[in-house]
Structure 1
């Protein structure tokens, strides 16, 4: 957990006086409430909390949270977050971005904050469309998505945010969706992680990409379409009242995951694997599972901490400066110097 003394707050303490302005029915409302409910539960302090955002619908977030906030420029929120954290490592930094802001113009910056492992929470709202700029296809839009910039359907193959994060060296990767009751638990796990915690949140854009996630996010049939991962527990999904319980097994001959039926609750006999959040290879496989034959893998996919960027950088500074005292005059006089006299410079 971040090195701060927990304090008692309520949801109301985290609601700013700004009118929340997203389209009626936008999934961002649900995400905002999930974050505002989570912050008191983790003992966060508004005086030590900073929300940083780039550009896009999601990036209005800092206005609506009663804490410090920084609404920055398109795709560059990670650079600002890095500066904030290095200036004051005790601050609890949350970075809010979208699939366009974080993976298009900001893809380079997202990659570097992940590989550096800055201690912060990165919430990437993925609605698979550019909402604020009126519905163009985004880096995560599916093949065939019709939009003002692809009127007969996008031919771009979509990026997968969680796969991108794993490939960039992220040490914590999770997924959730806007109206899920499980989202708060995912946010808590991200906050408890020491390092860059990347959370992809599927978010319904009611205007330009309505119900694109209904195939797995709709309440009806959710048990059969969602695989909520729990560390140390078997990967099971389904509802015994509506169909057989199923699980995810590893085909060791071909090194890929497959769906298996679980008979009489004996998941071990079916070969169902137990989720291990430190297993990076399985995390990659879970991210790559095609929805349809497989459920959507949600929750914490990967969590394996390592020393954070600011710990190592500031620790290096302390080592280099140990036993030394600051002397500006000595620094300025170091190296080749000369004295300017009336007759010209005297070397």
Structure 2
């Protein structure tokens, strides 16, 4: 296991075998390989097993309410656009409780990275169906099986003109690091949906299942073609992995357009706290 500046000695409250362990290591390695200073990084997370991840990284983080990581991440980026801001959480946290914030963060297009641990189940609350659970998935609550079609985050993001949309699987370590690095480098909102097995409460969508039911986009795939990206996002099994879409033309970010920075590019935290600044921030 590679040593990084992001290593943090702490008791980790995940089940043995959880995909979060792999993703935690891959994320730290990605940050280290990009030579990013931990002082220039802030995580924002909500509630859930995935949302605990920032607590195990040697950097700054804000752990808030269920489903509310994205508005906090947006506020942090507005206060200091010089920071790398990563919003982290699970499929229930981000697409369920945080679904409304997911939609409007895409509309606002802050320059943040959005990492979603997608294991198709609620892990912290012990096995209820999540928005991405497959139809027919049986749980202690959905005893006859899930009756709804699963939420498709990639198609929704593309329909709202998200400029960067990707999916990966923790079982493919090199691809996962590559995708995370591309998301960090991209100037704009970057969604990375990550297949991340829950070994305790999802006995269907296992490591083996993800390996058998995914494929990596080949080198000839054109990730700047939005129509192709939407077609890939609508595929069911097998699911495509990689960067589905990276908008070629720059889409202005929230920070670039916000009145707060039209006349003065100085980060908000460096300015004197005035009522006018706060009013602009809330616009």
Identify the TM-score tier after normalising by the shorter chain: 0.7 to 0.9
Provide the C-alpha distance between the structure 2 equivalents of 1:14 and 1:85, rounded to a whole number of angstroms: 21
Provide the C-alpha distance between the structure 2 equivalents of 1:216 and 1:118, rounded to a whole number of angstroms: 34
Provide the C-alpha distance between the structure 1 equivalents of 2:255 and 2:261, rounded to a whole number of angstroms: 10
Which of 284, 290, 297 is equivalent to 2:240?
Answer: 297
Quote the residue 2:262 is aligned against: 317
Judge conservation of contact 1:50–1:69 (CA < 8 Å) in 2. yes
Quote the residue 1:227 is aligned against: 215
- SS of the residue corresponding to residue 174 of structure 1 reads strand
Q: Deviations over 1:300-322 (max 9, x none)?
A: 00001412111111575318xxx
Provide the C-alpha distance between the structure 1 equivalents of 2:81 and 2:105, rounded to a whole number of angstroms: 15
Deviation for aligned residue 1:125: 0.7
Matches of residues 1-347 of structure 1 in structure 2 within 5 Å?
11-181=3-173, 182-214=175-207, 217-218=210-211, 226-230=214-218, 233-234=219-220, 275-291=221-237, 295-304=238-247, 305-314=250-259, 317-318=262-263
- SS of the residue corresponding to residue 13 of structure 1 reads coil
Provide the C-alpha distance between the structure 2 equivalents of 1:123 and 1:52, rounded to a whole number of angstroms: 10
The TM-score, its normalising length taken from structure 2, stands at 0.87
For the pair shown, which has the larger CA radius of gyration, 1 or 2? 1
- SS of the residue corresponding to residue 12 of structure 1 reads coil
Q: Deviations over 1:231-251 (max 9, x none)?
A: xx33xxxxxxxxxxxxxxxxx
Question: 1 or 2 for the larger relative contact order (CA 8 Å, sep ≥6)?
Answer: 2
Distance 1:192 1:314, change over 3 A: farther
Q: Which has the higher helix share?
A: 2
Provide the C-alpha distance between the structure 2 equivalents of 1:192 and 1:199, rounded to a whole number of angstroms: 13
Unpaired segments ≥5 residues, structure 1: 1-9, 235-274, 320-325, 329-347
Deviation for aligned residue 1:105: 1.4
- SS of the residue corresponding to residue 300 of structure 1 reads strand
- CA root-mean-square deviation: 2.0
Unpaired segments ≥5 residues, structure 2: 265-271, 275-283
- SS of the residue corresponding to residue 311 of structure 1 reads helix
Provide the C-alpha distance between the structure 1 equivalents of 2:144 and 2:207, rounded to a whole number of angstroms: 23
Q: Deviations over 1:86-111 (max 9, x none)?
A: 11110100110111111111101011
- SS of the residue corresponding to residue 103 of structure 1 reads helix
Deviation for aligned residue 1:214: 4.5
Judge conservation of contact 1:204–1:210 (CA < 8 Å) in 2. no
